[in-house]
Amino acid sequence: MTLLSGEIMDKPVPQHDLKKTAQAIHTESRDSVYDSALCLGPIWNDIQQDLDAVYRAPSRQSSPLISLKWLCSVLAQSPTLSALIQDIDIEEWAFSVSRGATDSYKIDVEEDVVILPSLMKKVQSRHNLVLNTIRALRDIWYEDNHFDLYESLNPEEWLKWEKIRSADIESFTVLVSWELRIAGERDLWRTLMASEIGDMAIIFQAIDESQAGLESHITPLLHAFRQWYMVTDRVNDTDSATLAAIDETITHNTFAEPFGHERLDATDVQDRICLPSGEQYLLDVENMLSNPDFCAIPDEINQTHFFHIMTDLETIQVSGVRFRDKALAALIFPQD
């Protein structure tokens, strides 16, 4: 989870943008990473034309083209991921495999570049590359399809939406990994089960295998989504990153009111959070948007940060003094 590089836009910027490359790529020069980025569209199309072709697993020394061809050959085994590609402006995005010691993806939304984690000598690094590419593609799907929400939501709803978004990205990763397991990538699934979202994978597998042959993965996907909220560290980390993004928006925004006033609508959320097939998997969204188990801010530091943000938005500061009434502030400090 990283931060956005470059200028902050004059409109609200989603947390998943700000998470993506502002700490720049510290172990390697920016130019080398961006120069090696390739459009994934043509590579994906080539793989689709010969799905039976076998590609040698890449190493750290492999060229970006070799690495991305192998990566696409693995991902193409997932029907859900293949369908998601159709919902993304994939021709607009370039992908680069980092050569530094990075273990998560980064997205530069200004340059439309995705920087994937590095390939080290261990097999697990290739699994990590696959898992983070799944996450990155679902994240891009949000950028391409749901950016409009950030212009209308108030800060409290931003926090709810970012948790929903994070839970969905990880749940989607579990689903695609399960499809790849069915296709024969069993080691990838074992790596996922040993990862920080292994609890989600375990629940998904248990429920899916108890469905007595049903082909739909909607029920296990829903349970994996709910499980994301059961680990407090995941919730706290997402809240912290979202609050930092809100702070950045307040600091750099030139508008008097940088946020909207709308609240999340349950039906709208259910319609937005769907699979590429159009299937909706979230149930009882109305409860999720009001139930403390899903929308509370459990960490006290994050709570304090949120209250400070709301105070900043509800008041103005003149000569070091905060006022809720602009007219009163002008009377007391007319020179300011």
Which pTM value belongs to this model? Answer: 0.85
On whether the CB atoms of residues 83 and 176 are closer than 8 A, the answer is no
Q: How far is CA 299 from CA 32, 305, 321, in A?
A: 39, 10, 29
pLDDT tens-digit readout, 83-113: 999 999 999 999 999 877 678 999 998 889 9
Is the pLDDT at 11 greater than 50? The verdict is no
The residues pairing with 107 across neighbouring beta strands, listed in sequence order, are 114
On whether the CB atoms of residues 257 and 155 are closer than 8 A, the answer is no
CA distance 290 to 224: 20
Rg of the chain over Cα atoms, rounded to whole angstroms, equals 21
Residue that is written with structure tokens 């949000």 in the block? 142
pLDDT tens-digit readout, 27-59: 345 667 788 899 999 999 999 998 888 898 888
Is the pLDDT at 24 greater than 60? The verdict is no
Instruction: Give me the chain's average pLDDT, please.
Output: 84
CA distance 305 to 244: 9
Please report, for the chain, the start and end positions of each structural domain, with discontinuous segments joined by +: 15-298, 303-336
Higher-pLDDT residue of 31 and 150 is: 150
pLDDT at 172: 98
